[in-house]
Amino acid sequence: MRKAKWVAAAAGVVLLVAGCGSEGGSGKRDGGSSAGSSAGSTAGGGSEAGGGDSPDAAAVEKEIEAAATAAGFVQDASGEDVPAELKDCMVSWTADAEKAADPKKSYDATVKTLSGGGWKEGQSTEQSGSTIKTLNKGTWSLKASSHGAAGFSIVMFIGTDKTAKCEALFRADLEKNKKP
């Protein structure tokens, strides 16, 4: 149960920093561009968010899986499932960091592999043992997060498609899940 609470907390941090169409967070920026706002303002399909052709959810998941497993991670089967109505717009891949020899090195290697595969690095935030990097490709924005402290490590990759269709589905999901 304790691990599930940490995973939920880490997911909340990633989503809070990711924001829905916002810059999110106030971390340092790599490069001079504002990748977060250009990704959030994408109105349709195409390549506005990260350049090049935009992959679909299956391709994004395959790229994350290949990069993460090559870096020494295995997927944590207890990671968060994406709701069925959002499967074309969102990908969530959680590493079983306890099985990695060095979770931080594996995280860095995964991000490096993704960057070499056409994902463009955007915003990067580091604070209190946590690192969250934004990577963009086509209309997709990927939050790569590594959270570690004494006794635990959580590594997650959450990708969202920033097309108008997906943004509408995300808003509808948020409304549906609002507590009265």
How do the domains of the chain map onto residue ranges?
2-18+29-176
pLDDT tens digits, one per residue of 156-172: 999 999 999 999 999 99
Q: Which two tokens stand for residue 164?
A: 């108008």
State pLDDT tens for residues 46-59. 444 444 578 999 99
Q: Which amino acid is at 150?
A: A
pLDDT surpassing 70 at residue 3: no
Rounded to 5 degrees, what angle do the CA atoms 41, 45, 47 make? 75
Name the least confident of 63-72, 88-97, 113-122, 169-178. 169-178
pLDDT (0 to 100) of residue 94: 96
Mean pLDDT value across the chain = 77
The residue with tokens 């808003």 is 171
Query: Residue-wise over 114-143: b if at least 16 C-beta within 10 A, else e?
Result: bbeebbbbbbbbeeeebbbbbbbbbbbbbb
- What φ, ψ does residue 37 adopt, rounded to 5°? -75, -35
Confidence category of residue 148, pLDDT binned at 50, 70, 90: confident
Q: What percent of the chain has pLDDT over 90?
A: 57
CB-based contact 158:15 (threshold 8 Å):
yes
- Residue 177 has what pLDDT? 85
Q: What is the pLDDT of residue 80?
A: 77
- Print the SS3 string covering 34-66: CHHHHHHCCCCCCCCCCCCCCCCHHHHHHHHHH
Q: What is the pTM of this model?
A: 0.71
Q: Which residues contact 25 (CB under 8 A, 6 or more apart)?
A: 16, 17, 19, 123, 125, 132
What percentage of the chain exceeds 70 in pLDDT? 71
